């Protein structure tokens, strides 16, 4: 018995030795920043300056901060319009390139290529395309004799539309790859049996394809929601958060607090609320989507 316990302890110590490098890095680069960020949110001060403990004062101020709530609702609005659009577009692209038609290799490359670009490049491209007077769309319409100018950045609705278009073009290719992997895991026997039973294309999609992609769809929705919560680069580069603050998301506001107002404590408090919101909504999404039959 003692020999068995000693042998088991040796296995535990060996496993711990292999896990130790990862656990040290995980604690240092993930757990420690979360704890440090929360402690910072309980203080006031700036970078390099002495911080003063203020308890929950930053959180109390947040509840009455109109700019915080404006950026928070802007973020939720973008999630509502972007997540379904990008998920549906990614699925449609995956279905298209999975048909094994001529040119699908080129389409796969073309659809995924924008995802390899940085957000600064994406922003520059779409600012060039959407400029109301000298942009690619404006010049194209002008060459066709159409002199109407579209103010893509001049209103709340058009500003969000321009951000959505740029985000769709940039990120849908990544979701396409995930859906494509899921489609290729579906056995061909299921579709052959459906053909024998006389099922049409819609029936096969509804009763075979969609249920088989349940796990992939859950993953894509959660990843896209998290990415939409972290929206920053597109708004900063394309609309500058305007007009006014109508397209300023939460991360954009955190940047302004931390690096324009130099209030690290309040910025950390807003960041921690964002972190908790992402975790809560991701958990709810996972539970709801995986509980469906």
Instruction: Check residue 34 and give its pLDDT.
Output: 84
Instruction: Check residue 93 and give its pLDDT.
Output: 93
Residue 42 lies in a domain: no
Instruction: Check residue 245 and give its pLDDT.
Output: 87
Per the CB < 8 A criterion, the answer to whether 228 and 278 are in contact is: no
Residue 22 lies in a domain: no
Residue 62 lies in a domain: no
DSSP 122-176: HHHHHHHHH-TTTSHHHHHHHHTT--PPP-TTSSHHHHHHHHHHHHHHHHHHHHH
| Alpha-helical runs (H) found in 185-244 | 188-196, 201-204, 210-212, 214-229, 233-234
Residue 3 lies in a domain: no
Which range marks the domain in which residue 256 is found?
71-290
Tell me the pTM: 0.85
Instruction: Check residue 1 and give its pLDDT.
Output: 56
Separation between Cα atoms, residue 132 and residue 149, nearest integer Å: 6
> Within the chain, which residues score under 70 in pLDDT?
1-7, 47-49, 290-293
CATH number at residue 150: 1.10.3720.10
What b-and-e string marks burial along 48-77, b requiring 16 or more CB atoms within 10 Å of the CB?
eeeeeebeebbbebbeebeebebbbebbee
Residue 116 lies in a domain: yes
For the chain, the domain total comes to 1
Residue 16 lies in a domain: no
Residue 157 lies in a domain: yes
Instruction: Check residue 180 and give its pLDDT.
Output: 93
pLDDT digits (tens, 9 = 90+) for 1-33: 556 566 677 777 887 888 888 888 888 888 888
Instruction: Check residue 288 and give its pLDDT.
Output: 77
Instruction: Check residue 251 and give its pLDDT.
Output: 93
Instruction: Check residue 48 and give its pLDDT.
Output: 65
Instruction: Check residue 162 and give its pLDDT.
Output: 93
Residue 156 lies in a domain: yes
């Amino acid at each position: 018995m003692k020999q068995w316990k000693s042998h088991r302890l040796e296995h535990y110590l060996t496993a711990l030795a292999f896990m130790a490098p990862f656990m040290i890095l995980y604690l240092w680069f993930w757990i420690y920043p979360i704890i440090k960020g929360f402690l910072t949110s309980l203080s006031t001060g700036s970078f390099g300056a002495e911080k003063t403990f203020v308890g929950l004062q930053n959180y109390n101020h947040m509840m009455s901060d109109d700019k915080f709530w404006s950026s928070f609702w802007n973020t939720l609005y973008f999630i509502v319009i972007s997540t379904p659009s990008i998920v549906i577009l990614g699925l449609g692209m995956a279905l298209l390139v999975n048909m094994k038609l001529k040119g699908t290799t080129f389409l796969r490359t073309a659809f995924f290529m924008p995802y390899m670009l940085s957000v600064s490049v994406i922003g520059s491209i779409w600012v060039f395309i959407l400029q109301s007077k000298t942009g690619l769309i404006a010049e194209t319409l002008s060459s066709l004799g159409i002199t109407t100018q579209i103010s893509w950045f001049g209103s709340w609705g058009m500003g969000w539309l321009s951000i959505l278009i740029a985000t769709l073009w940039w990120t849908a290719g990544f979701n396409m790859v995930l859906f494509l992997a899921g489609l290729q895991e579906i056995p061909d026997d299921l579709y052959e049996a459906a053909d024998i039973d006389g099922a049409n294309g819609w029936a096969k999609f509804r009763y075979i394809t969609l249920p088989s992609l349940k796990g992939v769809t859950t993953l894509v929705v959660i990843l896209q929601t998290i990415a939409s919560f972290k929206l920053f680069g597109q708004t900063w580069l394309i609309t500058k958060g305007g007009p006014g603050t109508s397209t300023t998301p939460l991360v954009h506001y955190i940047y302004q607090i931390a690096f324009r107002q130099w209030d690290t404590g309040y910025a950390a408090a807003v960041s921690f609320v964002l972190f908790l919101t992402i975790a809560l909504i991701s958990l709810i999404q996972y539970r709801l989507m995986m509980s469906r039959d």
